[in-house]
Amino acid sequence: MPELIPVSELAPVQELQPGLILPDSPQREILEKIEKEAYSEWYGGFGSNKYTADANAIANSVSQIPEIELLVPSDYGVGYHNRCAHFAFGKLLGEDWAVPHTELPAELWSDPVEFLKQKGFVQVIDSAPGDLVAYARIRDRAPDDEALRFEHFAVLETGNKAISKLGQGPVVRHPVELVPTSYGNTAFFFRKQAA
Domain ranges for the chain, please list them. 7-192
Alpha-carbon Rg for the chain in angstroms: 16
Q: Kindly state the average pLDDT of the residues 155-161.
A: 96
Q: What is the predicted pLDDT for the residue at 23?
A: 92
Q: Kindly state the average pLDDT of the residues 102-117.
A: 91
For residues 103 and 81, what is the distance between their CA atoms, to the nearest angstrom?
Answer: 6
Better pLDDT: 141 or 173 = 173
Is residue 25 within 8 Å of 43, Cβ to Cβ? Answer: no
Q: For residue 177, what is the DSSP state?
A: T
**Residue 143 clears pLDDT 60, i.e. is over it:** no
Long-range contacts, stretch 29-32, CB < 8 angstroms, 24+ apart? 29/181, 30/65, 31/62, 31/65, 31/68, 31/166, 31/178, 31/179, 31/180, 31/181, 32/180, 32/181, 32/182
4-8, 26-30, 112-116, range with the lowest pLDDT: 4-8
Is residue 32 within 8 Å of 181, Cβ to Cβ? Answer: yes
Better pLDDT: 149 or 145 = 149
CA distances from 145 to 54, 107, 149, 187, 194 (A): 37, 17, 10, 18, 33
Is residue 99 within 8 Å of 91, Cβ to Cβ? Answer: no
* pTM assigned to the model: 0.88
Q: What is the predicted pLDDT for the residue at 30?
A: 97
Pairing of strands 186-192, 121-124: antiparallel
CA 53 to chain centre: 23
Q: What is the predicted pLDDT for the residue at 64?
A: 96
What percent of the chain stands above pLDDT 70?
86
Q: For residue 130, what is the DSSP state?
A: T
**Residue 112 clears pLDDT 60, i.e. is over it:** yes
Q: Kindly state the average pLDDT of the residues 144-158.
A: 85
Q: In terms of residues, how long is the chain?
A: 195
Summarised one tens digit per residue, pLDDT across range 116-139 is: 999 999 999 899 999 999 999 886
Average pLDDT of the chain to the nearest whole number: 87
Q: What is the predicted pLDDT for the residue at 40?
A: 92
Q: What is the predicted pLDDT for the residue at 12?
A: 42
Q: Identify which of 9, 3, 22, 1 has the alpha carbon closest to the alpha carbon of residue 187.
A: 22
Summarised one tens digit per residue, pLDDT across range 11-56 is: 444 467 788 999 999 999 999 999 999 999 988 877 678 889 999 9
CA 133 to chain centre: 7
